[in-house]
Amino acid sequence: MPRVREIEEDGGDPTLADIFAKERETFGDLLNPTKVMAHCPPILRAAKAMGAAIEKSGQLPKALLSLVYFRVASINGCPF
């Protein structure tokens, strides 16, 4: 059971509505970190922007990004 209540509905917040829609389209559902960070939409938006910036920076080859994400999830004990 999570210690922080997960938010799965946008409650009319346009920031959450946009992020939730994109994530559901990409993954089929919301990822757990998104549900937790949704308590503070500005932080969620900033975290998503940072993730996008890392991907677009070109510092890591695109083929390596998925492996990095998988490894981090594995270290944290999260299914991916």
Confidence class for position 80, pLDDT limits 50, 70, 90 = low
Does 23 fall in a domain?
A: yes
In a domain, 2, yes or no: no
pLDDT digits (tens, 9 = 90+) for 26-62: 989 998 889 999 999 999 999 999 989 988 998 888 8
- Kindly state whether residue 3 falls inside one of the protein's structural domains: no
pTM of the model: 0.76
- Which residue range forms the structural domain that includes residue 55? 14-75
H or E segment to which residue 70 belongs: helix 62-75
- Classify residue 6: in a domain, yes or no: no
Residue 30 in domain: yes
How confident is the model over 1-16, as pLDDT tens digits?
A: 668 899 999 999 999 9
Radius of gyration, alpha carbons of the chain: 14
In a domain, 48, yes or no: yes
Is the predicted pLDDT of residue 79 greater than 90, yes or no?
A: no
Q: DSSP readout, 36-53?
A: HHTTSHHHHHHHHHHHHH
Total domain count, the chain: 1
Q: What is the pLDDT of residue 20?
A: 97
Domain membership flag for residue 33: yes
Query: Which residues, in sequence order, are CB contacts of 59 under 8 Å at separation 6+?
Result: none
70 occurs within a structural domain: yes
